[in-house]
C-alpha cells in the first residue's frame, strides 16, 4: 500500500469528523457542488473521501438515485463514515482503497471527486491514470487543492517552529505546496481532456476560544508530532495560534478565508 503524507488514526479520525469537517471540509464540499452538478443517473466516486463529506453532500444534493461510493486509504476514516447514521451516510458505499489501486472495473463511474486528497498521494500520476481507468467514457474528474497557505496555518506554523521543530512547521505547510498547474500535464498524460482550473473561496468559522482552536489543531496529522514533543508544546501552539487569529475575530468566532482551486477534466469518449 502506498504511504501517504496525511494519515490520522483512532481518535484523530473522530476529531477530524467532529471538528474539521464542519468548519472546513463541509463548506468546501458545498462550494464545490455549487459549481459541479451531479445528476440522478450519475455514478459517483469520492476518492480519498476521509469521513465521506463529499459523498454525503452529493447524496443530499442529487437525491436517492445515484450510486455513490467513497474510498480512502485510511480504514479509520472509513470506519467513521460507516458509523454515521444519517440517511446520506447510510446510503453511500464505503470502502478502504488506495487511490492508485481502486477495486473497481474499468468504465464504472461517471464522475469522480477528490477533495484535498491528491496532494498526499506519493504517485499522483498513477492515481490520475487509475481514476481515468474507472471512469466511463466522457466521465468527469473534479478535485480540489488549496490555493496558497491558509491564513489559519500561518500563526500555527510560526508556533510550531518555535515550540516543536522546523520539520514540524514544514510538515504543516506541505498540504498547501501543490500548485494546481502542476497537475495539468499529469491529467493530459493520464488521458484527460478539457482541463480547467477555477477558484473557490470558503470561510472557515471556528469558535474564538482556546478550546475551538485546540480542536482544529488536534484534528490535524501534525497533532501527533506536537504531542510527541510534549503536552506543554501543544498548549503553546494552541495559545499562539489563538492569539495570531485575532485579526479574523468576528464576535464569538474566527472567520478565516481559505482559497482553493477546483480542477475539472473529462475522459475522452
Ligand X SMILES: C[S@@+](CC[C@H](N)C(=O)[O-])C[C@H]1O[C@@H](n2cnc3c(N)ncnc32)[C@H](O)[C@@H]1O
Shortest distance, position 244 Cβ to ligand X, whole Å: 22
DSSP letters for 23-59: IIIHHHHHHHHHHS---TT-EEEEET-TTTHHHHHHH
Residues that bind ligand X (CB under 6 A): 2, 4, 6-7, 21, 25, 48-50, 53-54, 72-74, 77, 98-99, 115-117, 120-121
Q: Which is nearer to ligand X, 25 or 94 (CB)?
A: 25
Distance separating the N- and C-terminal Cα atoms of the chain: 31
Residue nearest ligand X by beta-carbon distance? 50
Shortest distance, position 268 Cβ to ligand X, whole Å: 25
Shortest distance, position 101 Cβ to ligand X, whole Å: 8
Q: Which is nearer to ligand X, 221 or 244 (CB)?
A: 221
- What distance in Å separates the CA atoms of residue 152 and residue 176, rounded to the nearest whole number? 12
Q: Which is nearer to ligand X, 142 or 160 (CB)?
A: 142
Shortest distance, position 251 Cβ to ligand X, whole Å: 27
Shortest distance, position 243 Cβ to ligand X, whole Å: 25
Q: Which is nearer to ligand X, 4 or 173 (CB)?
A: 4
Q: Which is nearer to ligand X, 144 or 163 (CB)?
A: 144
Helix, coil or strand: residue 140: strand
Contact predicate 216/151, CB 8 Å: no
Contact predicate 191/137, CB 8 Å: no
- What distance in Å separates the CA atoms of residue 156 and residue 201, rounded to the nearest whole number? 20
- What distance in Å separates the CA atoms of residue 60 and residue 69, rounded to the nearest whole number? 14
Amino acid at each position: 500500500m502506498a504511504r501517504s503524507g496525511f494519515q490520522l488514526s483512532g481518535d484523530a479520525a473522530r476529531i477530524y469528523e467532529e471538528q474539521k469537517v464542519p468548519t472546513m471540509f463541509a463548506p468546501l464540499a458545498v462550494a464545490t457542488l455549487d459549481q459541479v452538478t451531479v445528476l440522478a443517473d450519475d455514478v459517483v466516486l469520492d476518492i480519498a473521501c476521509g469521513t465521506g463529506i463529499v459523498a454525503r453532500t452529493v447524496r443530499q444534493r442529487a437525491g436517492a438515485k445515484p450510486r455513490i461510493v467513497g474510498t480512502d486509504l485510511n480504514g479509520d476514516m472509513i470506519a467513521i463514515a460507516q458509523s454515521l447514521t444519517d440517511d446520506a451516510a447510510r446510503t453511500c458505499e464505503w470502502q478502504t482503497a488506495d487511490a492508485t489501486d481502486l477495486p473497481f472495473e474499468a468504465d464504472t463511474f461517471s464522475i469522480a471527486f477528490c477533495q484535498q486528497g491528491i496532494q498526499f498521494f506519493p504517485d499522483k500520476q498513477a492515481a490520475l491514470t487509475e481514476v481515468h481507468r474507472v471512469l466511463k467514457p466522457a466521465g468527469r474528474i473534479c478535485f480540489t487543492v488549496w490555493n496558497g497557505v491558509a491564513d489559519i496555518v500561518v500563526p500555527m506554523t510560526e508556533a510550531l517552529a518555535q515550540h516543536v521543530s522546523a520539520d514540524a512547521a514544514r510538515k504543516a505547510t506541505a498540504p498547501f505546496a501543490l500548485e494546481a498547474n502542476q497537475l495539468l500535464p499529469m491529467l493530459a498524460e493520464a488521458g484527460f481532456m478539457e482541463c480547467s482550473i477555477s477558484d473557490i473561496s470558503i470561510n472557515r468559522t471556528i469558535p474564538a476560544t482556546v478550546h475551538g482552536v485546540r480542536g482544529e489543531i488536534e484534528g490535524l496529522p501534525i497533532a501527533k508530532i506536537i504531542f510527541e514533543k510534549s503536552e506543554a508544546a501543544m498548549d503553546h501552539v494552541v495559545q499562539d495560534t489563538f492569539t495570531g487569529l485575532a485579526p479574523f475575530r468576528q464576535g464569538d468566532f474566527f472567520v478565516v478565508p481559505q482559497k482553493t482551486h477546483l480542477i475539472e477534466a473529462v475522459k475522452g469518449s
